[in-house]
Every structure is written in C-alpha cells, then in structure tokens.
Amino acid sequence: MSKSAAFFYTPDFLRYRFGEEHPFNPLRLELTVDLLHDCKLLDPADCLPPRVATADELATFHDPSYIETVRETSLLGYPTAEAAAHDLGTEDNPVFADMHEATAAVVGATLQAGETVMEGKAEHALNLAGGLHHAHRKRASGFCIYNDVAILIHFLRRKYQARVAYVDTDAHHGDGVQWAFYDDPEVLTISLHETGRYLFPGSGYLHELGEGRGYGYAVNVPLEAFTQDASFTECFETVVPTLLRAFEPDVIVSQNGCDGHVWDPLTHLSLTSLSFRRVPEVVHRLAHELAGGRWIALGGGGYDIWRVVPRAWATLWSELSGRPLPPRIPSSWIDRWQPKAPERLPESFDDDADTAPPIPRRREIEEKNRITARAAVENASPLVRGIRGMA
C-alpha cells in the first residue's frame, strides 16, 4: 500500500539564497522543518531526498540559451550584460553562487514529487522549496530563477498525458505558469491573488482567460487590498470547486504561498491562519473527489518567516499527511528560535481573533470581491464545460 504523503527536503535548498537583506530567505524552510520535527509530524520515512533536475528537464519549459546563461552566471558569481538581458542581477533576482545548481535542486524535488504521486507511491507529495511561479521561459522574475511549476506541468502532460488543474493562492499572481499554458485546454490555471493594480507582477485580471483552444482555461480572481478571511474563503469556495468539477482533472497541483497573511511585509491582504487552514482542506477534499487523491503541493511566497511561514506550512503538511497539529506550538521550538526572532513568536497555530484589525471598507471590499468571483465563474465555467463536452 502506498504512503499517504511524501515530503521532499534537503538542506541544499538553503543554498537558494539571494543575500542577507533579500526578503526571500530560505531560513523559513529550516524553521518549518524544525517545527514539524518538534511537533512529531514528520517521520524519517516521509522524507525523500530529491535529485537535481537535468538540463533537458529544465528545457521542457526554459529556453536552452537562458539555462546556459544561468549556468555561466552561477560560475562567474556576478551579472554580465547577457545575464542582465534575462533579468538576472536585478534587485529582485540578484546573482548568487551556485544559483543554477540550487534552483535545479528545487526543480528536481518538484519533479520527484510529481513522479511519486503519478506512480502511486504516495497519494500526495509536498515540496516547500517549490512554487517558483514567476519565472518565464527566457528570464528570471520575482525571486524565481527556474519555474519548477511549469516544468512539472509539462512533465505531467508529456509522461502521463494528465489533465492538470493548477490552484495558486499566493498573494502574487501566478503569471509564469499562466502564460506557459495560456493556449492549452488540458491545463486549467486558477490564481487567487491581490489585484495587480497595487502589487507585482501587475497581471492576473479577469479578462486574462487564455487564447485559442485554451480560451476559458485561465482563471483569475484579483482580490481587493485588505481582503480578510471571510471574503477570501468565500471567493475561493465559489470558484475553485465549481471549476475543478467542470474540468475533471487527473491531478491537482497547488501553490501555497502564505504571503497573504496580514503580517506579511510585502503584500496588502489581511488574511490569518484561518485561510491557510481552509485552502488545503478544500484542495485535499477535491483531490480525492476528482483526481483519485493525486495532489502535488508546493510552497511559494511568504516573507514573515518567523511568525507566519512555519505555522502555515506546518498546517499544510498536517492536512496532506492526515496527522493533526498539536494543541500548541512546542515550547522547545520557541525556546530554540525566539532569541533570533525579531518579533515574539506565536504560541498557537491559530491566530487570535484580533490578529487582522477591523477594516473600515470591509463591506465594500467584500462586495467587490464577491462580484469578481462570480464573474470569474461566469467567464470561465461555461467555456470549460462546453469545450469539455465537445471533446
């Protein structure tokens, strides 16, 4: 009998580091894994060592010239004019030593997660270092060098001819994945994110619906700034179950960025632990209802690395593995990390009721989001059902 869930991790993931002052800090992975161990949620048998993706695997999505530029820049350790043409060496995407190898390890783990699920060795698999959804075919973007998500979906399509549903709840639009499959009716991309009016990458609007045979298979729910839990979960549950049931996927891939939390320093959503508990619950249920349990979960954004990311991602693994969280965060974990943390570490996995302060425009925000979610379904759902019925 296969295991319920597989967890892919290696300390080599900590090499994916843009610098001391950069917000994308891999310490969040170490904090999360350490918390899982202290909670006794991670057995040695769960953890599978990932491999490094090959150049051929990277080239299923990325242009070979871009891969070679990343490799050469990694060896040099500083950006060249050629690297700058691919948006390497920018403030968002600084060059760092072993950049190619570190990112290829993330991609390799994501591919292994896909293999593990599709070969029936586990129903679910998690790679918290993955979810690098902004990288494009020929350029880096938004802290993402290689797009492990796009490479995974290409792999699932080519090797298993799978219909793939991609659900992205990062606060930033999953643009790199959307554009990669914008004309593919066998890949449904759904992204719930803060509106691009205020936030990078400035895309993800309702009118982005796909093109050609893929028209209707790109779905976006751009949420108002300061959206809180009730509105977020209402929009999620309005859109995701409806469209996944219409699409009938063979496998679900989820990107689980937790940068929509009210404490996150880079975004303007006002979510709490309630949202980061509810999303994996719904995706888990849909995976068993629609896809034979096949669910590949990835990490993503999250920049309050001390108070938010470890708790959100421990909650995600708890749902994937079917192991309940303890009543409180272990004191051993708090004692170990509090001296290094800039803020007081929470003692519970659940936020207090007053974590997200009242928003004066709450009713207006909720109504705007409600209209957006309904429009997303109205725009996409008939198209998905209609084209599916004609196939």
Encode pLDDT of 161-198 as tens digits.
999 999 999 999 999 999 999 999 999 999 999 999 98
d(CA 391, CA 388): 5
Q: Among 266, 333, 343, 261, which Cα is nearest to 31's? A: 333
pLDDT higher than 50, residue 389: no
Annotated domain spans of the chain: 3-49+100-390
Query: CB count, 10 Å around CB of 175?
Result: 26
Burial 350-385 (b: 16+ CB within 10 A, else e): ebeeebbeebeeeeebbebbeebbeebbebbbebbb
352 DSSP assignment: P
For residue 291, what are the CA distances in angstroms to 142, 240, 250, 252?
A: 31, 14, 5, 7
Amino acid at 121: K
pLDDT higher than 90, residue 3: no
* Domain with residues 3-49+100-390, CATH architecture: 3-Layer(aba) Sandwich (3.40)
d(CA 271, CA 287): 24
Can you give the pLDDT at residue 388?
A: 47
Beta bridge partners of 48: 8
Can you give the pLDDT at residue 1?
A: 30
| Residues taking part in catalysis | 134
Can you give the pLDDT at residue 143?
A: 98
d(CA 249, CA 245): 8
Helices (H), the chain: 27-38, 55-58, 64-76, 81-85, 99-118, 148-160, 175-180, 229-247, 273-290, 309-321, 331-337, 362-390
Beta bridge partners of 255: 168, 298
Can you give the pLDDT at residue 391?
A: 38
Can you give the pLDDT at residue 47?
A: 86
Token pair, residue 161, equals: 């001819």
Cβ 110 vs Cβ 152: under 8 Å: yes
Residue where the block lists tokens 């790679």: 127
d(CA 325, CA 389): 42
Confidence of residue 390 (pLDDT cuts 50, 70, 90): very low
More confident residue, 61 or 3: 61
Amino acid at 359: I
Can you give the pLDDT at residue 2?
A: 46
pLDDT higher than 50, residue 90: yes
Please indicate, yes or no, whether the overall pTM of this predicted structure exceeds 0.75. yes
d(CA 78, CA 99): 11
Can you give the pLDDT at residue 198?
A: 87
More confident residue, 358 or 262: 262
